[in-house]
Amino acid sequence: MRNAILRRILSSLATLALTGLAAATLLRLAPGFDVEVSELDGRTSAETLRQMREARAGEQDIVSFYGRYLRDALQGDLGRSRSYEVPVTGLIAERLPVTLKLIAWGLAGAWACALLLALANIAFPKVELGFNLLTAVMLSVPAGLVALLILMGQRPVALGLAIALFPKLFSYSRGLFKQNAATGYALAARARGLSAASFLSRYVVWPASPALLAILGLSVNAAFGGAILLETICDLPGVGQLALQAALARDLPLLVGMTLFVGALTVSANAVTDLASLYLTRGRGRA
Amino acid sequence: MRLFVLLWATCLLAADPAVLKFCLRSEPKTFHPLKVGDDASETVRYLTAGTLVKINRRTQLPEASLATKWKTLDGGQTVRFQLREGLRFSDGTPFTAEDVAYTFQQVGAIRSGFTDSLRQGDNAPTATVTGKNEVTVRFAGVTPGWERLIDGLGIMSAKSPLQEKAVLGAFMVAEYKAGQYVVLGRNPHYWVRDAQGKPLPRVDQIRMDITANRDLELMRFKRGEVHMINKVDPDAYQTLATQMPEAVRNAGVSFESEQLWFNQYAKSPLPAYKLEWFRSTVFRRAVSESIRRADLAKIAMKGLAVPGVGPVSPGNTVWFNTKLAAHPYAPSVALAKLQKAGFRKQADGLYDAGGHRVEFSIVTNAGNKTRERLAAMIQADLGEIGIRVSVVTLDFPSLLERITRGFNYEACLLGLTNVDQDPNGQMNVWLSNTANHQWNPNQAAPETPWEAEIDKLMRAQARTVSQAKRKELFDRVQAIVHEQAPFIYLVHKNVLTAIHPTVRHSLVTVLFPHVFSNAEEVELQGAGVYRSAR
């Protein structure tokens, strides 16, 4: 177990470093990386333009930039945002609570509905068609439209995130539950007259818990992705909105800082769920 | 009992300050008055900075502000200012002549578009304290229209520990959350009073939420969550005019234009034959005369614009060349001119003398519905004379890279903002050796006789003191641009704004900032008792 944890930490750190480098490289190669809107200001002289361009020279060589950036990041300094002219750590710290709250409520809502409805589907198989229709409709509604409806209806943004995450979580959970409910030992237990509650908890949900934990990790990633869209459309000042603004403004220090920070959060969430899943599986193996 | 009621009322009113709310569409890049270059920073500077002379947004004429009077010396190169006495910065630091001298010293030290506008060549103006409350400013050369230039020069304190954050304007920056909002508080030492002698500003705070989402801004306006919209799109204006007719304001033709230009840069990666078309005046004029400007104004701009004439909009009553009119819509004449120049029209389109099909792409920025509609209409108009046009929309940084670095574009459709009423503000656009001479920048020597003439005229008007003579010189520049069409002016937009009915004493002006140019005088309905009681 200890080796597994160590391996997981090392692979997470490597993933994180590579993700940051990939983000920096992509942004560096993006068209319009080294231009400023103020360059179109008809008053700006050639000398001022030259100085503006020189100020960005340090970001041209992406390898040396990233090397310096990682060194500073290890000391807790994520640099200074070029578009906001403030330290990146301050920006993230200011906006992180908004996103964490959004994601927590969104995930809680989506998971609660998904698990409850998936169990209801197992308990009442006759309504499966209705659940199928509901899932199909929700999957086909673009997340952008959900965000617009939330905005116009002045509903909580977390509701939008829950609606966006729900159909996939429901499909996965229902698939796992159905699989478990159809196993030989589950059918035998049911035939012996086990109560519905005990059957669902012991033979349907509990055996699915390692897989559900793994999906929980993935849903955290998906929630961060959804947060970008929802925060942008609903004008919620979280890190998702900040990430998009950083990309649009070609703000290299901010985007790399965001990538590393959000990457660390999601990688940690995945590592925790993976290890928990591993622990549960091993525990059962010993039993 | 009376005392109790009075205390209760005071507490109630004190807890509910009058907050004027509107949105900034981008992040203010800086709060430093000398580094301002973008609209959002300019807005904050306008509301917070004190200036020696101020351009009255109603009359468009200069008037006294921190300087009570001034005298122009040395044929227009030197100006001696008499300063107002007894003023204080927002932190209580006294305002003195040294502060003005210090500000000009900073102009020399800081490089920005704004400080460049005060320079001549590489030389910045200097200021010397020449007496108690007297400062003499010496520009690097004769500087006609200096009043308009220093209208943007926020005077900084030489002694305040808050440095540039100590201000002399009606408001001061009280709180800023990057990417979220800027809150301006009342400057307790602001010196201007209203006609009744009551202190200004009338509102306690201004809250500016930062959002690029115009639909959201409009929705919040309709809900009463923001009081003003400084620039309303024609589509939104029409919608709002039906839903809240009392809120919309159309101040007439703005200084802004939408324009199309062809890439004439010799080092661009375009094929030689295309460069030859784009460098041909006949080709550019033919394109210009094949565009239905009246329809662009009527359909794309919803009738809230006028056909584009030239570099100066008819809204700029001081500098517009009244002898000019928009190029006429005459596609058959245009085609005849093209055929005379060697182009030939065939069943499937127009071809040049070398047998190349005449086709080009127009790049413009994505997400601007009006501009995309303009491009689509131009595409249809040019199709009628056999020119095949494709429209490419790019995000703004990508577009900027194409037109300022790689020059890998054929034609570009953009709107350029003239915040400066004076032609000197456009100097770096018209001089052929500058980077902002967009159609063919950074020329070592003017590549065409008409560009050489524009260079000469622009430099001459910048050295001339007489307004009439300057107007004559700049009229000629406008006439050349009209004739040669390096920029094809499409429409001049109207100043469209929205003001919530709860806002009183508001004023909409053609000059920037259109809707909150008198923010200090604005009053919010329902909060007047508290203010007038003080």
A248–B398 CB contact, under 8 Å:
no
Name the residue with higher pLDDT: A15 or B188. B188
CA distances from A78 to A86, A87, A249, B172 (A): 11, 7, 17, 30
B428–A32 CB contact, under 8 Å:
no
A40–B398 CB contact, under 8 Å:
no
CA distance B21 to B95: 30
pLDDT in tens, A111-168: 999 999 999 988 888 888 888 898 888 888 888 888 888 888 888 999 999 999 999 9
- In chain B, residues with a C-beta closer than 8 Å to the C-beta of A92 are none
Domain range for A62: 2-286
Q: Distance from first CA to last CA of chain A, Å, rounded?
A: 17
pLDDT of amino acid B4: 52
Q: What is the pTM of this model?
A: 0.82
Tell whether A30 lies on the interface with B, counting CB pairs under 8 A: yes
Tell whether A248 lies on the interface with B, counting CB pairs under 8 A: yes
Return contacts of A47-55, CB within 8 angstroms, 24+ apart.
A47/B111, A47/B122, A48/B111, A48/B112, A48/B113, A48/B115, A48/B116, A49/B435, A51/B111
- Contact predicate B187/B105, CB 8 Å: no
Tell whether B397 lies on the interface with A, counting CB pairs under 8 A: yes
Q: Which helix (H) or strand (E) holds B254?
A: strand B248-262
Taking all residues of chain B, what is their mean pLDDT, rounded to a whole number?
Answer: 90
pLDDT in tens, A249-272: 888 999 999 888 888 888 888 888
Q: Where are the alpha helices (DSSP H) in B73-213?
A: 97-109, 113-118, 146-150
CA distance B129 to B102: 10
Q: Which two tokens stand for residue B379?
A: 């595409």
B116–A45 CB contact, under 8 Å:
yes
Taking all residues of chain A, what is their mean pLDDT, rounded to a whole number?
Answer: 86
Per-residue confidence at B57, pLDDT binned at 50, 70, 90? confident
pLDDT of amino acid A53: 79
CA distance A268 to B450: 65
pLDDT of residue B8 exceeding 70, the answer is no
How far does the CA of residue A79 sit from the closest CA of chain B (Å)? 15
- Contact predicate B264/B278, CB 8 Å: yes
In B, residues 434-463, which contact A (CB 8 Å cutoff)?
434-436, 442
How far does the CA of residue B115 sit from the closest CA of chain A (Å)? 9
Least confident of A143-147, A202-206, B156-160, B526-530: B526-530
- Contact predicate B257/B314, CB 8 Å: no
Q: Which two tokens stand for residue B289?
A: 């005369």
In A, residues 42-61, which contact B (CB 8 Å cutoff)?
42-49, 51
CATH number of the domain that residue A278 is part of? 1.10.3720.10
How far does the CA of residue A29 sit from the closest CA of chain B (Å)? 11
In B, residues 149-188, which contact A (CB 8 Å cutoff)?
177-180
B435–A46 CB contact, under 8 Å:
yes
What ipTM describes this predicted complex? 0.74
Least confident of B4-18, B290-304, B484-498: B4-18
Q: Which two tokens stand for residue B473?
A: 């010189």
pLDDT in tens, B304-327: 999 999 999 998 888 999 999 999
- In chain B, residues with a C-beta closer than 8 Å to the C-beta of A246 are none
pLDDT in tens, B15-44: 578 999 999 988 898 999 999 888 899 999
- Contact predicate B305/B234, CB 8 Å: yes
pLDDT in tens, B362-416: 999 998 888 999 999 999 999 999 999 999 999 988 999 999 888 999 999 998 7
Please compute the mean of the pLDDT values over residues B426-450 and round it to a whole number. Answer: 92
Tell whether A247 lies on the interface with B, counting CB pairs under 8 A: no
In A, residues 79-98, which contact B (CB 8 Å cutoff)?
81, 83-86, 90-91, 94-95
- In chain B, residues with a C-beta closer than 8 Å to the C-beta of A233 are 213
Domain count, chain A: 1
CA distances from B519 to B57, B171, B200, B515 (A): 12, 9, 10, 8
Cis amide linkage into residue B331, ω under 30° from 0: no
Q: What angle do CA B343, B451, B432 make, to 5 degrees?
A: 115
Residue pairs between chains A and B whose CB atoms are closer than 8 Å: 119
Neighbours of B278 (CB within 10 A): 22
**What residue of B is the nearest CA neighbor of A51?**
B111
What are the phi and psi torsion angles at B134 (to 5°)? -135, 135
Radius of gyration of chain B (CA): 25
